[in-house]
Amino acid sequence: MKFGIISDIHGNLEALEVVLKEIKKEDCNEIIFLGDLVGYGANPNECIELLRQEKIVGVAGNHDYAALKKTSIDEFNPYAKEAILWTQKVLTKESQWYLDAFLLVNKSYPFHIVHSSPAEPSDWYYLFTIEEIIPQFNYFSYPVCLVGHTHIPFCVAKTTDGRIEIIKENKFELKSDRQYIINVGSVGQPRDRNPKASFAIYDTKTNIFEIRRIEYNIKKAADKIIKANLPPILAERLFYGQ
């Protein structure tokens, strides 16, 4: 099968539309979503409706849970907190129902799917460093664990003899004697200093995994944030990918 994989959309309709169009060119059998549909961006309902129409399966992110008041926003920075309070006000009942159906972990595929970390998905820990990533291999049995949350793409592999490898290529083969933890980056708010939307294509027949980047209309997405009276920094950072 061939999967399109997306994460951290954050209400950015312009980025989501471009990414989904690109994924459809690949004739993927299914699209998997790794959490955080809402927060930061100005089109939460529209993004939710687009995923609903496409029958995209996913897991919940911390911003999704926060928008539903299922997790605290006390640890959110002031800009994220303001965006969530705004999102709570504008979400339709239908959008709330859709978000509420997402679980924290999905094991229905030939890989482990979680937004933050396989060890403690409800605590929303970030996997930034190799020291934070390595212990996570003990908490899933599938060959591949897909995560989001940091908005920074990465791939780390563990061999059967315990060696750790950092995969630096954007396109690589998944080998049978390794386990992988892969972050596909963010559709709607990349933070690796590359403003292009990030997503992935995974072909289980060839075992080829590819993280891709694509341009979208950043100005339009940013203008919507300003028009909605959300914090201007949420618009500005889109241009710099940080």
Rounded to whole angstroms, how far apart are CA atoms 85 and 125? Answer: 22
Summary mean pLDDT of the chain:
97
pLDDT of residue 108: 84
Query: What's the pLDDT tens digit per position in 42-90?
Result: 999 999 999 999 999 899 999 999 999 999 999 999 999 999 999 999 9
**pLDDT at residue 107 is higher than 90:** no
The two structure tokens encoding residue 216: 């979208």
The answer to whether residue 219 scores a pLDDT higher than 90 is yes
What is the predicted pLDDT for the residue at 57? 86
CATH number of the domain residue 136 falls in: 3.60.21.10
Report whether pLDDT(213) > 90. Answer: yes
What does the pLDDT average to over 156-180? 96
Bridging pattern class, strands 57-58 and 30-33: parallel
Number of domains in the chain: 1
Check pLDDT > 90 for residue 129.
yes
pLDDT tens sequence across 83-94: 999 999 999 999
Q: Determine the pLDDT at residue 184.
A: 98
- Read off the pTM: 0.96
Residue 162 vs residues 45, 85, 172, 175, 218: alpha-carbon distances, Å:
44, 44, 20, 14, 42
Query: Residue 191's pLDDT is what?
Result: 97
pLDDT score for 97: 96
Task: Read off the pLDDT of each residue in 99-117 and give the average, rounded to a whole number.
Answer: 94
> Which residue, among 62, 20, 1, has the nearest Cα to 188 in the 3D structure?
20
Residue-level pLDDT at 110: 86
pLDDT digit string (tens) for 182-196?
Answer: 999 999 999 999 999
Domain that holds residue 214: 2-239
Strands 164-166 and 154-159: antiparallel
pLDDT grade for 225, boundaries at 50, 70 and 90: very high
Provide the pLDDT for residue 38: 98
CA torsion angle 227 34 56 111 (round to 10)? 170
